[in-house]
Amino acid sequence: MQNSSSILEVRDLLKTFGAVVAAKDINVDISQGEIVGIIGANGAGKTCFVNMVTGYLAPTEGSIKFEGTELVGLGTRKITHAGISRSFQVSQVFHSMTVSENLMIALAIANNRGTDALSLMDTPDLRLKLDAVLKRYKLETQRDATVSALAQGVRKLLDIAMAVVSKPRILLLDEPTSGISVEEKFDFMDIVMGALKEDGVTVLFVEHDMEIVERYVSRVLAFYQGEIIADMPPKKALADKKVQEFVIGKEHHKKKK
């Protein structure tokens, strides 16, 4: 379905590792401002898809266009510059530094391009931006804590906050609530999605937790064995036969983390 406001157009994506087909016939159009949930059992191809969109993996065939620009062949760095960011399933942060330092680095990289990188990093301007991010993501009390001493949930918040400071137009979150306790997950997602809404960011997130998916997305992509088996609003998706058999069925039998 061609949509004139689609900012991400994925066509006939294929990814093979030798004889293993990790992704096949992936065709998706994402519109500006959508919140999309990507669901599927482990190994169904969700993270592979995220890795290809963000440039970590090169597809074997196919094209990914972002606002008309072909992304295939650019590295993670150029794709970030183009306006697509991601967070990680296992938070990728700088563990020997504090929360503030982590965010300052992210802010500095986003703001000090080219020769600016050789000027002092710690400027009042950047500090203001830092304070704003800390507030948005409710990290103020943790600002001077060293990451290695932080709880998993705070680390994930930081991971996502770092991905957002470059003001991406598309943000991919890889299992944002994994590792976060049942009691805290909604608060966590409220903070994250609230902060993102303010910027009008298009969000795609990979999730195993169907409650989260139901609550926050407007559209669901269900993966199974490398292919998209359903592309519809959450209520329809969760009621869909194929999705129930190949995705949710497995979910209910999974042990709670």
Partner 1 sequence: MFNDRTAKFLLLAALVICVGGAFAPNWIVNQFMFGFSRALAILGLMVLWRTGLVSFGHAFYFGLGAYAVAILDSKLGVSDVFLRLVAGAVVAGVAGFLIGFIMRNYRDIFFAMLNTAISMVLFGIVVKTESLGSTDGFAISASTIFGLSPETKYPLFVIITLIGLSAALAVNFYLKTTFGKLTTAIRDNEIRVEYLGFSVAHAIHLKYTISTILAGGAGALMAMSLGQVDPESMINWTVSGELVFVTILSGPGNVIAPFIGSLVFEVLRTYAFELAPQAWQLIMGATFLTIIFFLPGGIWSLIEKLGGKKNAK
Distance CA 171, CA 80 (A): 10
Distance CA 38, CA 47 (A): 9
Structure-token match 């966590």, residue found: 188
CB of 254 to partner 1, least distance (A): 28
Neighbours of 183 (CB within 10 A): 7
CB of 199 to partner 1, least distance (A): 17
Nearer to partner 1, 66 or 246 (CB): 66
Nearer to partner 1, 148 or 181 (CB): 148
CB of 231 to partner 1, least distance (A): 27
Select from 146, 168, 170 the least CA-distant residue to 158: 146
Select from 80, 68, 97 the least CA-distant residue to 169: 80
Nearer to partner 1, 85 or 202 (CB): 85
Write out the residues near partner 1 by the rule CB under 8 A: 54, 75-77, 80-81, 85-86, 92-97, 104-106, 108-110, 112, 116-122, 162-163, 166
CB of 165 to partner 1, least distance (A): 8
Distance CA 192, CA 76 (A): 23
Nearer to partner 1, 117 or 182 (CB): 117
